[in-house]
Amino acid sequence: MKGIRSGVAARIRKDVPQALPVHCIAHCLNLCLQDAGKQINLLRDAIQLVREIVQLINCSPKRKHLFSQYRLAESAILAENDRPSGGLKPLCPTRWTVRAAAMEAVIKQYSVIMETLEDVHLHTRDEYGLKAGGLLAALEKFETFFSLKLGCLLFGCSENTSKVLQAKDITMQEAVAAITVTQTFYKRQREDEAFNTFFDRVEQDARSLNIGLPVLPRYRKPPKRFDGDTQHEFRQPREYFRQKYFEACDILIGELSDRFEQEDVMKPVLCMESILLKSACGEESGKTTGYTCRCDSCGATRCKTGHEHSHNMHGNGSS
């Protein structure tokens, strides 16, 4: 789209040099989540685990029926408010708001999935039985449950923002405000108090599901040729998961900053939008208390002091 010579943006600017190419904000947010999912090992593994569970169960009528039977048996025992609703939700690469929902569906039906995988592992004599055993072993680990909970927390906020950004009548100012709110949420989560609350809740839920206790990963001693490059040793599991939690928040905050804090693109577009909206509403576009911006394409100047400036719209003979 943004090719220098033959991209859509380049072709439009041949006819209208003043046009500013702006990438889809919702698409940019989805790219942030994709990049973060690749960099954060816990989220990457959680996404892959959910995808394999859904494929194993939903791609076989027999295993899908078995899962439904276990789900109905558990629903008969639980109270009406605690019954799991719906089945497993697949992860679709072309849909931007399914990650958190797919992980949440696995968490809500965690015990049912474990019973299904155990049944398949014990009574199936093919590669699917082996795969079910591997998935079951992963679900019995605290780190897996922690990663699924972390994915719901982080992806859930961004996917709610994505739904807001896909509204037909949203303005650029509202889109930037939604992104700012999302960044603020991640910054608030990156605090010791927020982590301790999250970790204690995950531990409590894990105990109710008879999942293993949090443990430290096996320490791997680096080769002797890497002198001085010693690996940090965590004393307690909480310290290890705290580091992973903060790392995930930092990566998401950095991805949002890299894609949305681009002054050469955002400020001119916000400036032009504000002028057009004020003109359409019959307001004076010369007064502002926003930010300092000199728009090269429209010649508009805006500053924090609220002084009046002239705005000359160039191109197509309009003023």
Q: What is the pTM of this model?
A: 0.78
pLDDT of res. 304: 39
The lowest-confidence range among 37-41, 60-64, 112-116, 228-232 is 228-232
pLDDT of res. 105: 93
Torsion of the alpha carbons at 280, 284, 286 and 287, rounded to the nearest 10: -120
Which pLDDT band, with edges at 50, 70 and 90, does 154 fall under? very high
Q: Identify which has the larger pLDDT, 205 or 294.
A: 205
Which pLDDT band, with edges at 50, 70 and 90, does 316 fall under? very low
Which pLDDT band, with edges at 50, 70 and 90, does 192 fall under? very high
pLDDT of res. 81: 53
Buried b (16+ CB within 10 A) or exposed e, 136-165: bebbbbbbbbbbbbbbbbbbbbbbbbbebb
Spatial contact of 172 and 269, defined as CB atoms under 8 Å apart: yes
